[in-house]
Structure 1
Amino acid sequence: MIPFGLAIAFVFSVGLYAKEYSISNLNPLSDVIDELKSLRQEVEENRKQILKQENELKTVKQELEEMKRHCQCGPNPDIEKSETGKNEVYSKTEKNINHIGGESRIKRIIPHTGQDGPVAFYAYMSTSMSNVGGHHTLLFDVIKTNAGNGFHSTSGVFMAPRSGFYVFTWTIRVYNTGQHSVELVVNGQGVGALYEHSGPGEDDMSSTTAVVYVNEGEDVFLRTKMDFNQGVIDTSVHGYSSFAGWKLN
């Protein structure tokens, strides 16, 4: 039989050992928890990067589809034949891109306005007008440009096909003591005017420009003012009385 004192000492020693063993095992467990947290953070960061790359890939796909719709150009078998074929295809593609929204030469002053193309017109008088009274709408019967089909030569009225800022410019030529004041009318309101006069035997012409916002469907035209109307509004191959305009945006 084990003595009572010895048994008590044994139990105390076992308890102390168990306590030290449990404490010593807490450190590895804490390390595992920290490592799991670190792994979770890495997983979350990777997930964010994947989502970001997916969004970028979607954007690139959309841009490619947009370029395909505008370019309307497909693969050319000549590309694989020679370097000359490659250059020809590249040249054709560049021309297609440059011509989106109108001719490349006029894009500098008539910006692209969307899928419907630019809006621009230019017309001039083919014959001179005499005995012009006040509030007389001027007619420009020779149309040279009418992108968007907004200008009507029979009435002299431009009807805006889309809303936006427009540039309008007009030139009036007078002869031999003639004088005329011509105003730009937008939706029934005068928004700009030009006055031109000439001395005896003289032939003069003047131009002016206005930039205004026009709503879709509103009328724009030129008319004489009630006063300062005398003589002929002249026009000829040496100098046309004309009316032009184009949409900025």
Structure 2
Amino acid sequence: MSLQTFPVLILCAFYFLTYSYIYADQDENVDVNTDWKWAVRKIKELEEQVRIQDERILTLEKRPTASEWASMVDIRKTVQKQHDRIVQLEARIDELETQTEIENNELVETRSPEHMHVTNSKRPMIHSKRSMAKNKRLLLQPTTVPVETVAFFAYFSTHNPPSTHHHILAFDTVITNVGKAYHPHSGTFIAPRTGLYVFTWTIRLWGSSYHTSELLVDNNIVNTIYLNPVDQIDGSVTGTAVVLVNQGDDVLVRTGSTYNNGDIKSDTNGRSSFAGWILM
């Protein structure tokens, strides 16, 4: 029942009581009239409901709005940041005061004639103060741990004849494998963590050999390179990609779906290679 209907009910109940009172016999006892008692009870119930609704409305009016809640949260965050900054500045001030005090003491002792006669028992005290100041500085250093380095570099130990399409190039000679994420037997790099990576690969060809090669990340082609020496040059081609890789994704180089013939060259005159590293 809405609050707007309460006045109407009260008014109806008032007319009903007035009507019953006027037309009641003079010798009729109002207290024993059933309709009268019901009307009085109903009025009291309506008044109680109105009172409860008024209290609820008053409570709702006192509650903060969504914008007020957001402002309160922002204020609390600002206060917390200011508190943290104050704590850092106080620690820095203590460090500087300690360092200044130690330097002043060393300067006075250096200028004093008695400095040449400092006993061995006083020297450890000075070193102790230096150690305390150093420890304080270390405690104030940032505690964030840098991202662990991930990097690899591998090349073919000899010529490789991947004349078929979609042949994975397994660069078998590993020079660098920080993080042990590159697997030379399968030619696959498995990302140990999510991050932004750089990958580069070089294919050397000569004579009648020609190849298209692709860089795949999580089975998706990211970059493609092609070289055809046409029996005229002994050269190489390099592809590079900067790509976001999720933890557990496979990264590899394979031959393309078209234009593949002959050996991929790799010897002391020029290596076919594959490398990658994490940026952040």
- After TM superposition, the score normalised by the length of structure 2 is 0.50
- The answer as to 2:90 corresponding to 1:54 is no
Q: Which structure 1 residue ranges, 5 or more long, are not aligned?
A: 1-48, 62-79, 81-112
Cα distance in 2 for partners of 1:56, 1:164 equals 34
Amino acid at match of 2:262: G
- The secondary structure found in structure 1 opposite 2:167 is coil
Cα distance in 2 for partners of 1:114, 1:50 equals 24
Question: 2:185 maps to what in 1?
Answer: 154
- The secondary structure found in structure 1 opposite 2:276 is strand
- Report which of the two has the higher share of strand: 1
Bigger Rg, which one: 2
- The answer as to 2:260 corresponding to 1:229 is yes
Cα distance in 2 for partners of 1:51, 1:127 equals 60
- The answer as to 2:209 corresponding to 1:204 is no
- The answer as to 2:276 corresponding to 1:245 is yes
Question: 2:160 maps to what in 1?
Answer: 129
Q: Which structure 2 residue ranges, 5 or more long, are not aligned?
A: 1-81, 95-122, 124-143
The count of residues paired between Structure 1 and Structure 2 equals 154
2:162 and 2:255 in contact (8 A); partners too:
no
- After TM superposition, the score normalised by the length of structure 1 is 0.56
- Report which of the two has the higher share of helix: 2
Q: Percent identity?
A: 41
2:188 and 2:250 in contact (8 A); partners too:
yes
**Displacement of 1:144 after TM fit?**
0.5
Distance change >3 Å, CA 122–CA 52, structure 1 → 2: closer
Distance change >3 Å, CA 133–CA 50, structure 1 → 2: closer
Question: 2:210 maps to what in 1?
Answer: 179
Question: 1:145 maps to what in 2?
Answer: 176
Distance change >3 Å, CA 122–CA 191, structure 1 → 2: same
Question: 1:190 maps to what in 2?
Answer: 221
- The answer as to 2:223 corresponding to 1:163 is no
- Please give the per-residue CA displacement for 1:130-177, whole angstroms capped at 9, x wherever unaligned: 252000000101100111111000000000011011000000011202
- The answer as to 2:247 corresponding to 1:216 is yes
1:197 and 1:204 in contact (8 A); partners too:
no
